[in-house]
Structure 1
Amino acid sequence: MAIAKADLIEGMAKGMAVLESFDTERQRLNATLAAQRAGLTRAAARRHLLTLAHLGYLETDGSYFWLAPKVLRFSGSYLGSARLPRLSQPTLNRLAAQTQESFSVVVRDSDEVVIVARSGNDRAEAINLLDGQGGMVGEGRRARILAYGLHLGARLPAFATSTGRVLLASLNRTEFAAWMKGRGFHRLTAHTLTEAKAIRAVVAQARADDFCVTSEEHEIGVHALAVPLRNLQGRTMAALNVVTSPQRLQQEVMRRELLPLLQEAARELRPLL
């Protein structure tokens, strides 16, 4: 949202920039690092850090600062009041119970996508315990490990995720061209597409297919399928995805099992969005 310069409280904007400079890559910052990340002088960054610590949003050891639990008030208030997480959660729970897979609803925030609702399974899977000669000696349980970055509130790069590409595909040609202009893409795994031409191609494919599949592009071990969530006016409001094994994302299995489930869930949610 654009506002007149006279209405902008620059001190608040700078304070939020300092708060947003903390992320999974830099969980602890001193004044120098915060200044570099927020685009401020060191003296200004230090004052904002001290103020945020005084208000309870940061903790400090005197040199370094890190986020305090109080910052969760913002996310808690959003999740408690926003319609999308509340309305989509029953559908996510049903899908997870039906398939034993992990599902998320995701929205785009500029360069990133944010998980605003999620239902996952960390069920134990049966495995055979073998002796040294390959003979079976019993059966054990192996906990299914969920991807590191896929938690409620997680922010992921739009260009490298199935949900991000579905949401970028909802932009018109002019909007997408503006989003792409001058943008560079960094490699996250050995499988990440980083060439602008390749990104344009996969987004165009997502637009044509009305779904998107990605495999290990933003995190090793993460294989995902996403579809858009549209309202009754046809506007894409969010994306719905499932994270599963590469075997279940094989073309035949995906089209027979997972894609119809996601598409039906999207139709079910459409009147509510």
Structure 2
Amino acid sequence: MAIAHADFIEGMAKGMAVLESFGPTRQRLNATLAAQKAGITRAAARRHLLTLAHLGYLETDGSWFWLAPKVLGFSGSYLASAQLPRVVQPVLNRLAADTGQSFSVVVLDGDACVIVARSSASRVLAYGLHLGARLPAHATSTGRVLLAALPKAGFRSWMAGRELPRLTPRTVTDAKAFRALIDKVRQEDCCLAQEEHELGVHAIAVPLRDMRGRVVAALNAVVNPPQADAAWMVRHLLPVLWEAARDLRAVL
């Protein structure tokens, strides 16, 4: 959403940038690291860190800072009030119970896709596949489905000057090959990604559309060996995903 310059609160934006600097690979930050991640001066980062700690969103030992449980209030409020998670959760629960596999609903946020709902028949989950997890869009089945749903001009803008990090030996990182892959996803209206985000993790995804035909999210199934054969996933899981997507369309 674009706003007038006079309405933009720069201090708030910097504070949010500091808060967003924390993540699975950077659980603790000091002022120097936070400044580098947020793109601000060390002095400004220190003030923001201290303020966030004073407000209860961070904890600190005086030098290092880490997220406090209070930040969960944001995700809890979203999950309790947003329509998408509430609508899809019963369907995910049914799919997991019927198939014994794990299912997620994901939305696109910049260069990442975010899990907003999930259900699993197993207590053993792939690393990082939790509510609110941010996954690299280029290496995941859901991310590719969501990128394929962008207008072609929007996808070109997303790709402009972008490097595609290699996360496993199977990750597609060549820009030309990736564009061809997204074209294929558009044509087939689904995506199969095998061990590109994490070794041992195989997923297949389809778009979720609302009544106007607009793609609002992606639905996927994540399986582990020995049921990770591509033909098995297409034969047994893809029809289940498409049926669920059709059922959800009327309520999205």
Q: Is the 8 A contact 1:215 1:246 kept in 2?
A: no
| d(CA) in 1 for partners of 2:144, 2:203 | 12
1:26-37 to 2 correspondences below 5 Å? 26-37=26-37
Question: What do the CA deviations read for 1:119-157 (whole angstroms, capped 9, x no partner)?
Answer: 01226xxxxxxxxxxxxxxxxxxxxx3201111110000
1:44 aligns with 2:44: yes
| d(CA) in 2 for partners of 1:51, 1:68 | 13
| d(CA) in 1 for partners of 2:24, 2:232 | 35
Q: Is the 8 A contact 1:160 1:192 kept in 2?
A: yes
Aligned match of 1:245? 224
1:204 aligns with 2:183: yes
1:76 aligns with 2:60: no
Aligned match of 1:233? 212
Question: What do the CA deviations read for 1:38-65 (whole angstroms, capped 9, x no partner)?
Answer: 0000000000000000000000000000
Q: 1:194 aligns with which of 169, 173, 186?
A: 173
TM-score after normalising by structure 2: 0.98
Amino acid at match of 2:26: R
1:37-186 to 2 correspondences below 5 Å? 37-122=37-122, 145-186=124-165
- Between the aligned residues of both structures, percent identity stands at 69
Q: How far did 1:190 drift?
A: 1.2
| d(CA) in 1 for partners of 2:17, 2:231 | 46
Aligned match of 2:194? 215
Amino acid at match of 1:96: A
What SS does the corresponding residue of 2:114 show, helix, strand or coil? Answer: strand
Q: Is the 8 A contact 1:229 1:269 kept in 2?
A: yes
Please list every run of 5 or more consecutive structure 2 residues that lacks an aligned counterpart in the other structure.
none
Question: What do the CA deviations read for 1:170-191 (whole angstroms, capped 9, x no partner)?
Answer: 0121111111011011111111
Amino acid at match of 2:188: D
| d(CA) in 2 for partners of 1:163, 1:200 | 16
Amino acid at match of 2:117: A
Please list every run of 5 or more consecutive structure 1 residues that lacks an aligned counterpart in the other structure.
124-144
Q: How far did 1:246 drift?
A: 5.0
| d(CA) in 1 for partners of 2:25, 2:140 | 18
What SS does the corresponding residue of 2:237 show, helix, strand or coil? Answer: helix
Question: What do the CA deviations read for 1:68-112 (whole angstroms, capped 9, x no partner)?
Answer: 000000000000000000000010000000001000000000100
Q: CA RMSD in A?
A: 1.1
TM-score after normalising by structure 1: 0.90
| d(CA) in 2 for partners of 1:249, 1:213 | 11
Larger radius of gyration: 1
